[in-house]
């Protein structure tokens, strides 16, 4: 690894998304330290077991060696170049609601505070598609409009989504307080691993109603790695929210026709691309230059 490689502390890297995102970042030349309670599948990625709800542990973890080779150098470790925070209770119903809220909000606060106070100028946090209210909302809810862009007025009712919205607000405040610091919140769509296309997409395509809570959208875990790389490399934006999704709707009917047929009472507020995902990634394409590498049709052809 070149000595000038950017150093990234990645929290929650052993989870569903992280175990694919970290290899994508390694391929792009970064050094990675994984903070998690579970070891990373690849033993070449060093995992420091860290309770992120303990502020002292977070401050220490952001100023530690990335592996034992660090002791061979002439200097004690300093803070990383960037922090990517994915660690969280990944949904509701894993723990009681109050613990989901406590764990997610406290860990996000601690990571952002420690990074900013240590002088880290690039922080990326995992927010969620659930902030758009329908995913874990009570009953059969409708979206208020399409597409779901980052300026959509979100008001989720479930604990997990509220915890993610709180994280966005912490990020916004700290980016202002510690300006110029970039803190980007990724509203991550339904994460799809490579093996899940063949397993899950036949049902997704044959029964579009089952994808309503995910807004007929998804993010390939490997493309999420590209998005993280683009966020690290794009400086000077302050606080930003980005929908982290792939380009296209998960139906065999073009977007406008599908929405007009099945959801005729939900307004479409702008012209959408023919196959644009309702949870739109237009902003990351235009601002960050995202170009997907893993469209679902490469792995499952319904025709």
Residue 159's CATH number:
3.40.50.720
Q: Is the peptide bond before 3 cis (omega within 30 degrees of 0)?
A: no
Q: Domain range holding 110?
A: 7-193+218-248+278-294
Q: Within a domain: residue 262? A: no
Q: Within a domain: residue 39? A: yes
Q: Are 226 and 245 in contact (CB under 8 A)?
A: no
Number of domains in the chain: 1
Tell me what pLDDT residue 12 has.
98
Tell me what pLDDT residue 1 has.
43
pTM for this entry: 0.97
Q: Within a domain: residue 174? A: yes
Q: Within a domain: residue 263? A: no
Q: Within a domain: residue 33? A: yes
Q: What are the tens digits of pLDDT across the range 1-34?
A: 445 789 999 999 999 999 999 999 999 999 999 9
Q: Within a domain: residue 300? A: no
Tell me what pLDDT residue 3 has.
52
**Residue 78 structure tokens:** 């300093």
Tell me what pLDDT residue 303 has.
75
Tell me what pLDDT residue 5 has.
81
Q: Within a domain: residue 213? A: no
Tell me what pLDDT residue 302 has.
87
Is residue 137 classed exposed, middle or buried when 0-12, 13-18 and 19+ CB atoms within 10 A define those classes?
middle
Q: Within a domain: residue 61? A: yes
**Residue 136 structure tokens:** 């874990």
- Please report the DSSP string for the chain in residue order: --TTPPEEEEETTTSTTHHHHHHHHHHTT-EEEEEESS--SSTTS-EEE--TTSHHHHHHHTTS-SSGGGGGSSS-----SEEEE--S--STTSS-HHHHHHHHHHHHHHHHHHHHHTT--EEEEEEEGGGGSSTT-SSS---SSBSB-TTS-----SHHHHHHHHHHHHHHHHHHHT-S-EEEEEEE--EE-TTHHHHHHHHHHH-GGGGGGGTT--EEHHHHHHHHHHHHH--S--EEEEEE--SB-SSSS-HHHHHHHH-TTSPB-S---TTB-SB--HHIIIII----S--GGGT----
- How high is the mean pLDDT in each 10-residue block of the chain (303 residues)? 78 98 98 98 97 98 97 95 98 98 98 98 98 98 98 98 98 98 98 97 96 98 98 98 98 97 96 98 98 98 84
Token pair 């934006």 is found at 237
């Amino acid at each position: 690894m070149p000595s000038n490689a950017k150093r990234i502390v990645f929290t929650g890297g052993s989870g569903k998304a992280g175990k694919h995102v970290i290899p994508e970042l390694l391929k792009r030349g970064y050094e990675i330290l994984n903070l998690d309670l579970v070891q990373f599948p690849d033993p070449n990625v060093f995992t420091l077991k860290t309770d992120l709800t303990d502020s002292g542990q977070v401050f220490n973890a952001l100023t530690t060696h990335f592996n034992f080779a660090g002791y061979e150098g002439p200097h004690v470790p300093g803070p990383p170049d960037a922090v990517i925070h994915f660690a969280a209770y990944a949904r509701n119903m894993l723990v009681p609601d109050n613990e989901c809220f406590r764990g997610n909000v406290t860990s996000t606060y601690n990571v952002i505070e420690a990074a900013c106070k240590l002088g880290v100028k690039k922080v990326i946090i995992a927010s969620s598609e659930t902030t758009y209210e329908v995913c874990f909302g009570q009953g059969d809810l409708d979206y208020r409009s399409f597409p779901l862009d980052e300026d959509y007025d979100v008001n989720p009712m479930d604990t997990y989504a509220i915890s993610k919205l709180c994280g966005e607000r912490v990020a916004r405040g700290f980016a202002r307080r510690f300006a110029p610091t970039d803190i980007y919140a990724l509203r991550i769509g339904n994460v799809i691993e490579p093996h899940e296309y063949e397993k899950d997409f036949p049902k997704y395509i044959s029964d579009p109603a089952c994808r309503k809570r995910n807004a007929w959208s998804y993010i390939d875990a490997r493309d999420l790695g590209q998005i993280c790389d683009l966020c690290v490399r794009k400086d000077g934006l302050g606080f930003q929210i980005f929908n982290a999704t792939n380009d296209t709707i998960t139906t065999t009917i073009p977007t406008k026709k599908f929405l007009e047929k099945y959801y005729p009472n939900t307004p479409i507020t702008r012209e959408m691309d023919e196959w644009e995902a309702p949870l739109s990634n237009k902003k990351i394409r235009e601002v960050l230059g995202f170009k997907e590498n893993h469209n679902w049709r490469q792995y499952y052809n319904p025709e």
